[in-house]
Chain A
């Protein structure tokens, strides 16, 4: 899914203190007092579970890959369409998510609407499987995609609204961890859910698949309930504390694209080249581990989910490290090289894939922590919304296209060549980041400064301004 969470967590607190915090008029229990920490922890819980459903259901196809392919009689290319159709709406929507929340719906209604899209999309997806209609499943994934990415934007907006200040990074980290937890739980339990359902239904088949996906849709329903509760609590807090409704603060102007500097385009290339070697690989990985490394299906799913499991705790830690040391470009280089090594290990050796997948998880977290904040260093603030929107848009476009290409390559030439293809994508990212290093170095730019140097510069700039 989009790494909106990662980049926001590292941008830190962006919003100013806008609320006029006048406090409650009459005393109420701490848990009901919107300005009290305990109440905000309750709100935090609902906020974290807001995204759980969509992350859980996003990787349902990967967790049930062989079942989906067998029960619906697909080939791998068609299977990957399920991921492609998730990404297609987000090619366009990334630009408009912030706009819709700010201007059209408002945060509360917007969150409920996007949660509804997620829920309805997953239900349509499950129904398509139940009736053995693949086109309906694709429609379901499309609707799911409309809601999924925008819901992440809404979730972050809520977080900024309720937790700006020192707690914001922690909240973003927690939200990201919950997202990864959802993916992990999905990878590890959907297989057994399917088996149980298949026993109930009588035999494996598209009916069992549809029923399993409908059970997964319950997590989306749960997220929808969280959205409603959050909306209620937010409205109540607004009434009590007289604060403004949260806004994303993003401004998207498409004409800004022509002003993007070269380092930003290189960052876009790194983003696309890197992520297309992660998510489609996880989508297709289960059968790879079963066939090449003789894993059982449960083991294969577990090793497939290790990337998410590791990134849940590693993201905050690595984010902290990158914040403290700076030198983002070097960290990106390290992350890309590590990913390349991991893919080469998987392709060309029989070494235990746990090693390679753990490396993949660490480098994936590291890249997220180091790459997304770089955008803020190369574009002025008023273009930030457009830049991030564009970055997510082409990331989704790349994922959609490469997901289908990966399926086609696998169907015709097998896993070795697929891994070679992924290595090539990572090499493109590597070339881009090395180019970025030199471009930044020659221009005396800001991307690779250490944190101390950056702080010094800021202090000098502030004192000059006085």
Chain B
């Protein structure tokens, strides 16, 4: 805190603070100085930081504390002046906290919070108002202390705030809920205490009350079917109608918050708000909000994502409303601040996750060029979002086949992103690469030349299981229908011991992808199967052992297909497949794989088939096949018939 400094020149700000600190300054002068200070800092971030560094916060708070205690002890004449000082002090504190995390921290460190709370119970409306406004601003920051709803006293306090006639006080109550309501227990506690009814009544209040209420209702209902039912239930769904009307309100932020609220209801309880009118209304409202230049426009794409994610019917409605066109248009008119760009990419990704028409449209609107630029953006969030968009775009088999995703201008930056410092970027890049390497050509030269294979193999040894599984997934897709030279390259880089350790990986999903990779590698048995026998059959042994020990059906299916593919080779291969374990199951997919293996083992025109059939019959497999001939699943039935027919040829002979 600056005392009178030895140097003669002091800034006006320092003088102001010094005057406020001094006990000799009369109260009227302090009031004037406070007002002056408040006016200087409003909207001026630099000044706020300057004053904070000069120790303005402790100074103001001590003045506030002083007048608060005088207000409690004295009566009479000094009261009015004290109240005015309190109001200005609270307003100044609020201004420091507004939109400035450093300011909020300063407020909390000095312990002003309790003092501000005490202002709320003051008889003078204006004082209460000032205190409420300031607290509202503090509660907009994440640094504000968490409000414990489960304590009864606190809940009572909150309810009194919500029942107040003062707009700022009710707004504060709602802001507290928005800030602190995080768990379903808290949501339930709020609902039980009747908070929802109070918030519903606020929906018909002033603009700020409406907005605060909408926001806090979203937090109370998020992923909690009981609270949603409580909100929708009584009064014949009137609250829902009120919110639905608010989608067409004239204020954009209200519209956005109303959309968010309805979307949360839809997503939490699938029995509400499913009619076509609501769906279209939400899509159109959000479409318009995307154009907003401010904060609302930044948030709108995220809200759109929450509406359409994993819901094909909504994606279709949005496509018909030309959402893809609008989003791509926005990409063109950029550059944007990071949040909006990220939102647009993620919304486009959600649009393209299932519908081919959306992907086609996006590609025709030059989506790939925007992605290419974004892959090298400074912000990790944008790089991740661009990769996610590319991943979903490349789910289009038509475009994969046409090779639209394999040119070096896309492949090279993607491979670079595999070494990104941020894990989420790496995982998103791996996801996109898993899809783009499926291009149905026998050679993946561009990808290999960019060093992609090396990177994938490196990442498959990662300690993070999410990276491991995605890397091996990409390798599996890479190995689909490639020629022998490519397969050799893959195995040379990956090495059999690494592949074996992936087969023994603790994560079942990694095991599944590793098996699928081996399945793809031995698809053309003539040459590539030699790897299965390399190093004393290390790989084959591992496959067999894992088939024995795993219980997860997906892993077993892939394992059976390995054996089945092996059994489609020459005699040595068939004999090797015979020695392995054949699990029994009621899962049709596994049964089909097992029957294919038997079909291959009993394939006519192979010399050892007769011997194998005898062995199979002795192991009871033939009679098992005969029961499968009547299986409800058509594919199992037909394959079993094929296998039985082949076996009977040898048994009868």
A and B physically associate: no
Which A residues fall within an 8 A CB radius of B? none
